[in-house]
Amino acid sequence: MYLGLVACAHTSHIERSIENAWQTNSSIPLAHVVDETLTIERAYEIQTRIVRRALRDAKPAGFKAGLTSAPSRARFGATNPVAGVLLKPAHLTPSKLDLNVLKGLYIEVEVAMRLRTPVRTRLASIDELKSHIDGIAPAIELPNLDYQDAQKLNALDIVASNVAAAYFIVGSFAPVEERDPNAVSATLECDGKELNVGQGHDAMGDQWAAALWLVNTMLDQGWTLESGQILLTGALGKMIRAQPGRCLADFGDWGRLNVQVSQ
């Protein structure tokens, strides 16, 4: 009983601390430091509560997968990928991103999938998932990993704080029949310097497997997925720390996307 009350007090403190950091544009405290007994299940519960409060009555713009490659999981001590909620639709992404505001900004090239029909219950197969998807597009995710004592950051902290979701950009969608998300290759060039090359299979080895995992994980957290929402399936290649300048993501036949960063 006593341990349960202590855990509840720690959870409330974590939630208040994360929400305060969001509201004041300050670095997010590490959840696992506040509560050394924190589990991944409780971290997702924290995420869901603070995201629902942040959204009020609005629907999520979509959902995102993170740590979908073995190196990224090793970096943050994760045994599995992580998932979060996209709070703001792509059209609200500023034309110029300010590092004075987004102090922990990173740039990731990704694949976006768009839901054609709602998903209410767990999906059993990739074929079932495909029946819900009406388009595939190039994307850039712009997470803000602004954390206190970032050297100690781990997967529990990332999950509790909604996987550092900030902004994202999407290009033009094409039907599933016209694009193979596993075959895409993307490069990221910033101010003329190539910083990253990624392949579709970098996300869990299979874009469709990554999307299926993401959908079922978020359903397990109590979300329902709605028509028009976006699924971001994880970074192709590496996360790149943002620096002032212009970055161009080239997805070949899929098109190009660009990001302007200032300070």
Neighbouring residues of 54: CB distance < 8 A, sequence distance ≥ 6:
19, 22, 87
CA distances from 75 to 153, 155, 166, 203 (A): 9, 9, 21, 16
Question: Mean pLDDT, the chain, as a whole number?
Answer: 95
Picking from 149, 19, 8, 168, the residue whose alpha carbon sits closest to that of residue 85 is 168
Task: Tell me what percent of the residues of the chain surpass a pLDDT of 90.
Answer: 95
Q: Which helix (H) or strand (E) holds 160?
A: helix 155-160
In this predicted model, what pLDDT tens digit does every residue of 142-170 receive, in sequence order?
999 999 999 999 999 999 999 999 999 99
User: In this predicted model, what pLDDT tens digit does every residue of 74-101 receive, in sequence order?
Assistant: 999 999 999 999 999 999 999 999 999 9
Strands of 96-98's sheet in order across: 96-98, 256-262, 245-250, 185-190, 193-199
Q: What is the pLDDT of residues 7-39, one digit of tens each?
A: 566 788 999 999 999 999 999 999 999 999 999
CATH number, domain 58-262: 3.90.850.10
Q: How many CB atoms lie within 10 A of CB 8?
A: 10
**pLDDT at 5 (0 to 100):** 43
Distance in angstroms (rounded) separating the CA atoms of residues 17 and 15: 5
- For position 11, what pLDDT does the model report? 85
Residue 6 pLDDT more than 60? Answer: no
What number is the average pLDDT over the span 229-244? 97
Mean pLDDT of 233-256: 97
pLDDT reported for residue 7:
56
Q: With a cut of 90, say whether residue 207 has pLDDT above it.
A: yes
Higher pLDDT, 2 or 14: 14
* Structure tokens, 230: 């976006």
Give me the pLDDT at residue 10, please.
72
